[in-house]
Amino acid sequence: MIFTVLIPLLLACFVPLISKIKDKIHTGIFVFFIPLAIFLYYIQFVGSDFTTVNQTVDWIPALGINFDFYLDGLSLLFVLLISGIGALVVLYSIYYLGKGERLGHFYVYLLMFMSAMLGVVLSDNIFVLYTFWELTSISSFLLIGYWHFNERSRYGALKSMLITVFGGLSMFGAFILLSVITGTTSIQSMIEQKDIILNSTYLPFILVLLLLGAFTKSAQFPFHIWLPDAMEAPTPVSAYLHSATMVKAGLFLVARFSPIFSGYEWFFIIVSIVGIVTLCWGSYMAVRQTDLKAILAFSTISQLGMIMAMLGFGTEIAVYAAVFHILNHATFKGSLFMVAGIVDHETGTRDIRKLGGLLNFMPMTATLALFGTFSMAGVPLPFFNGFYSKELFFDSSIDLTAGISGFADFLVQVIPYLAVFGSIFTFVYSMYFFFGVFGGKKQFNLLPKKPHEAPIGMLISPIVLVLGVIIIGLFPNLVNGTFLAHAADAIKGAVTADQHIKFWHGWDSPAFMMSLIVVGIGTILTFTRKKWAGVYRFLPGKLSLFKFYDIVLDKLNSVSNGVTKQYMTGSLRLYVAIILGTTLTLTFITMGATDGFTIQFNNLSDVRIIDLSVVLIMIVAAVGTIFARHNVAIILIAGVVGYGVAVLFVIYRAPDLALTQLVIETVSVVLFLLCFYHMPKLRKRDETKRSKAVNIVISVGFGALMTIIGISAHSSKWFDSIANYFIETSYKLGGGHNIVNVILVDMRGFDTLFEITVLGIAALAIFSLIKLKKNKEAD
């Protein structure tokens, strides 16, 4: 499994090279086979005899952080959506994005996101999951801001990053608490210890922090405001991230941890309320929009809220309906985003006020939109898969039992009414989308381009998704026992939902009556939309979470600028003083809190006259650097300190260290001499008594700190020393008798390599600055 997670990331490294030949062949053609291969690999696991699969690859075993991958029914559902729809999105992008675009950047970001999402849904280790989780935020930021020359793209990318990363950090806090309480980093092990978690005093904090991560990622109210602005991304990105993958990561998180919290009443209260409110608000606001992708954005918010609410209900039928709708939503919403992209591509606009009457000019696109919108609306016809999961949603809303508290009991009573309310507006915005684009009067004089049908290549992907809508609608049990039941079982356990998937439940079915109410009232509201649309002037009216976000962000920026200006004065001396002072303070506090000032005088060598003599010379040299006024003199005096350390190594019978110290000190002195020879002489600085006092406190304090750390390091033995390991293995592993050199070159070879690399980069930067200065002087 680790190979399938990392292969998109690894192959992304070669995309820039492939993109160089984009004039001959589109880069997407090469990329298309990556998600397709992953999909074909995982499709073999689909079947009634499916069993879970585990794989572990060591990473940081000392901290319990390893690549622990766990494939069960839930993760299999998401893996197939990520790879399957990923392949369709790449195919669609080949025709949507021209060769003049920065295709190398686009596909690198897309593959990076694909790897991140696969890692999220397959990881059993919470800290590995968090790593991939934040990688989804970074890669989605790059994808949303792909057209970075547009201000709105940059704005949407930043907003999505700020909100989702805030949630990710909250989730990270919950993960830390969970690992401390349970003593494990494995999610499955935590589920086995759920009683310990539910009885913990930290339970409320864990739940709130965890749900913040889920709600922000899945655009739940009031964190939904990032999703509409993310529609500035290219349509393939919207079809992938915002219908099938990224926005469902929060749903996955709630589903994955449901076995732990499903018995906790506050889990039911918080998740159900947030989900049902998101459903109602998203569907209500979708009807207000005029941009096709904005309509789909708010419709996505409402559908995500519906799924979140069902996960909050936590009953067997609700959990099954949730995973069923995750699949259905990916099919019809992915196709609708692609339809919106086709309309924009072929007419030059997404403004629904300028569209209309496109049925005769774009019949194939209109047919695809018909199946997508009617399935999203839950129209009671057997070839619309959205109807089945919507019926199950209604069933689950009236199947709830009374809670322990009075508020939970009230919530149980009111949820069915809110479910109907949200579904009515779902019907309205679905009809608004379809008939606003393909019905009504022609307004071709308002269109930038004369409309015509899209090329077949652009239609293939939405056709495949719509076929999924129809096939699941006609034969729902094809995906039941072989697929969906396993996903629901991973969340709830022992789910047998065969009887739930059927089109007809009888005239007396409460869910069917609720559907009739939705279709009836929804039809009336659709035809009278212009008459009641004025209600939006009152609700939300001038209230806007989008404006609230802008105000808060502007305030934070102004406060941050004010604080920054207080210490970013351009004074290097001030910067060094702040860094050293902060390090000094925090280190002393940490050592005091952890009993780090322990000093032991046993097992020490005797101090001889020669030792004191060398140390005294070093002290005099160190103090002498303060009073020296010539660069060369300072370097030579400082060199005495370094050579004194080498002499001490010789006295204490450490010739390897002495030799290394002598070589490094000699090279350092020579390099310093070469550099400082060309610098101006030091001038006496006029300083106030206050600045001198600060200098004394920081210098003496930092020197005392390093001394105490050295003594404490000898006295505090928190773990066994590794000195014997180096002594025993330096010759065997490194083939050298000089232990220090073996450590530096072999055992810490990568550290040394990266240190040299950093120095090389710094040298190149300095060289570039010198060349730049000379060029300016020449001009």
pLDDT in tens, 689-703: 888 888 888 888 888
- What pLDDT sits at residue 359? 92
Q: For residues 285 and 322, is the Cβ–Cβ distance under 8 A?
A: no
Q: Give the Cα separation of 403 and 420 in Å (integer).
A: 21
Question: In this predicted model, which residue has the larger pLDDT, 231 or 750?
Answer: 231
Taking alpha carbons only, the member of 363, 373, 285, 361 closest to residue 335 is 373
- What pLDDT sits at residue 541? 84
Share of the chain above pLDDT 90, in %: 57
pTM score, whole prediction:
0.84
Q: Give the Cα separation of 93 and 31 in Å (integer).
A: 11
Model confidence pLDDT, tens digit, residues 168-220: 999 999 999 999 999 999 999 999 999 999 999 999 999 999 999 999 999 99
Q: For residues 331 and 286, is the Cβ–Cβ distance under 8 A?
A: no
- What pLDDT sits at residue 404? 64
Q: Give the Cα separation of 273 and 411 in Å (integer).
A: 8
- What pLDDT sits at residue 186? 94
pLDDT of 559 strictly over 60: yes
pLDDT of 777 strictly over 80: no
Q: For residues 361 and 452, is the Cβ–Cβ distance under 8 A?
A: yes
Work out the burial of residue 504: count CB atoms within 10 Å of its CB; fewer than 13 is exposed, 13-18 middle, 19 or more buried.
exposed
**3-state SS record for 517-558:** HHHHHHHHHHHCHHHHHHHHHCCCCCCCHHHHHHHHHHHHHH
pLDDT of 608 strictly over 80: yes
- Residue 486 in tokens: 């396993």
Residue 540 preceded by cis peptide, ω within 30: yes
Q: What are phi and psi of 51, to 5 degrees?
A: -130, 155
- What pLDDT sits at residue 101? 86
Residues sharing a CB contact under 8 Å with residue 354, sequence separation 6 or more, in sequence order:
443, 446, 447
Model confidence pLDDT, tens digit, residues 270-295: 999 999 999 999 999 999 999 999 99
Question: In this predicted model, which residue has the larger pLDDT, 40 or 736?
Answer: 40
Q: What is the mean pLDDT of residues 372-392?
A: 92
Model confidence pLDDT, tens digit, residues 391-445: 999 999 998 876 667 788 899 999 999 999 999 999 999 999 999 999 988 888 8
Question: In this predicted model, which residue has the larger pLDDT, 502 or 61?
Answer: 61
Question: In this predicted model, which residue has the larger pLDDT, 723 or 411?
Answer: 411
pLDDT of 100 strictly over 90: no
Q: Give the Cα separation of 589 and 475 in Å (integer).
A: 66
Distance of CA 574 to the CA centre of its chain: 36
Q: For residues 437 and 369, is the Cβ–Cβ distance under 8 A?
A: yes
Local structure of 700: helix, strand or coil: helix
Q: Give the Cα separation of 681 and 356 in Å (integer).
A: 78
- What pLDDT sits at residue 694? 85
Hey, how many other C-beta atoms are within 10 angstroms of the C-beta on 694?
16
**3-state SS record for 609-637:** HHHHHHHHHHHHHHHHHHHCCCHHHHHHH
Q: Give the Cα separation of 73 and 82 in Å (integer).
A: 14
Model confidence pLDDT, tens digit, residues 648-672: 988 888 887 888 888 888 988 888 8
Mean pLDDT of the chain: 89
DSSP for residue 186: B
Hey, how many other C-beta atoms are within 10 angstroms of the C-beta on 616?
11
Q: What is the mean pLDDT of residues 3-13?
A: 92
pLDDT of 497 strictly over 50: no
Q: What is the DSSP string of 269-298?
A: HHHHHHHHHHHHHHHHHHTT--BHHHHHHH
pLDDT of 595 strictly over 80: no
Q: Any idea which of 159-168, 544-553, 692-701 has the lowest mean pLDDT?
A: 692-701
Model confidence pLDDT, tens digit, residues 318-341: 999 999 999 999 999 999 999 999
Question: In this predicted model, which residue has the larger pLDDT, 467 or 245?
Answer: 467
